[in-house]
Amino acid sequence: MSGDCPKRMRFGPCGGVRPDLGCELGTGPCPFTAGPVVRWPDPPVRSARPRALAGDGPVVLADLTSPPYDAAALARHARILSGSCDALLIGQYHDAPDFPPTLLAALVREAGGRPWVTLTCRDRNRVVLEQDLAGLAAAGTDAVFCVTGDARAPGVRPDVSQVFDLDGTRLAGLAAGAGLAAVVPEAPAAPPVDLRPARLAEKQRAGAGAAVLNHAGSPARVARFVDRARGAGATLPVLAGVAVFTDDAGARTLQAFPGLELDPATVRAVLAAPDPVEAGIGAAVDEAVALLAVDGVAGVNLSGRGTSADDTAATGIKAEIARRIRDRVRG
């Protein structure tokens, strides 16, 4: 099957499948959409759960927004968020490369944060991914977010090859085998919707110890997905995505991602409010509280930059949302 996928995936489909079931790269139909879901062929890999999930209460994970190659700014934003968030998700972007993952993890830990570090298969071959995993284990990383990765957009570093030696499922198996807590994504709203729950169960068999969901549009849709994933055999804790936006640019950025849905009524209400920042914060808190009431949801991920303003404003918005979630859910 990997020979038919431009990203050489064996355990697809990725989250970028188009509504017409076409490949995100426009190369024709996705080869994985006809089903059934591709099974993990080996014995289940023993998985570890992130330490952030060891407590009794729900977990708040936040995307860490910081300019690349700026250690001082990274530490400053990590300190702001670590006071109200249980863990910080460090992204890996095709258009904004940053320090190596091991260094990012060490810098966040030194600043008092608990790092969940994203590794994508787009820019690293298997040898480098193995090196990264060994380094992250030595650095005491709380979790590795294992993703296949989007293909690089046209015009973004055309001089750089895209690797895709592995996909996210196989990377999760490597991470678990290295003794790390492997966290995987899943997109409940991405087509083919019916394959997504069973796909998460196979990722758990590969070694995933937790999952972070893309925005699904409503708590009811998340509840249906989690229930079906449980029926397929998935028992791993799930963190649901909370959309963080306070202006039109922030909302459009989230809506542009494939396989991701925002509630249109909420978007309209936030953008039309006299104070969109306060409205966006309140909407995110309300969504988080509703998602945490879903059986099987162990936490939320504050996902998105939050604002088109500077990084300090974006970090402050997510820290305030996390504080309000704590007040409402934890008392």
- The 3-state DSSP class for residue 38 equals coil
CA 121 to centroid of chain Cα atoms: 14
pLDDT tens, residue by residue, 176-185: 999 999 999 9
pLDDT band at 257 (very low <50, low <70, confident <90, very high): confident
* Mean pLDDT of the region 146-174: 90
Residue with tokens 């879901």: 37
With contact defined as beta carbons under 8 Å apart, do 62 and 318 qualify?
yes
Across the chain, what does the average pLDDT equal? 93
Burial 286-321 (b: 16+ CB within 10 A, else e): ebbbbbbebebbbbbbbbbbbbebebeebbbbbbbb
Residue 100's pLDDT is: 96
- Output the pLDDT for position 158: 85
Local confidence band at 331 (pLDDT 50, 70, 90 cut-offs)? low
How much is the average pLDDT of 146-166?
88
Cβ-proximal residues to 183 (8 Å cutoff; 6+ apart), any chain: 50, 116, 143, 144, 145, 146, 208, 209, 210, 211, 212
Residue 326 per-residue DSSP state: I
Counting residues of the chain whose pLDDT is more than 70, the rounded percentage is 99
Pure H helices in 182-328: 196-206, 219-231, 248-256, 264-272, 276-292, 311-325
pLDDT at 59 over 90: yes
State the pLDDT at residue 108: 97
Report whether pLDDT(144) > 90.
Answer: yes
CA distance 188 to 194: 9
With the C-alpha atoms ordered 144, 150, 155, 160, is the resulting torsion angle positive or negative?
A: positive
pLDDT at 227: 98
Q: What pLDDT shows up at residue 1? A: 47
255: pLDDT confidence band, cut at 50, 70 and 90?
A: confident
**Distance between CA atoms of 296 and 325, rounded to whole angstroms?**
18
pLDDT for residue 3 is more than 90: no
Confidence band (pLDDT; 50, 70, 90) for 160? confident
Give the type of residue at 6. P
Structure tokens at 325: 């979630």
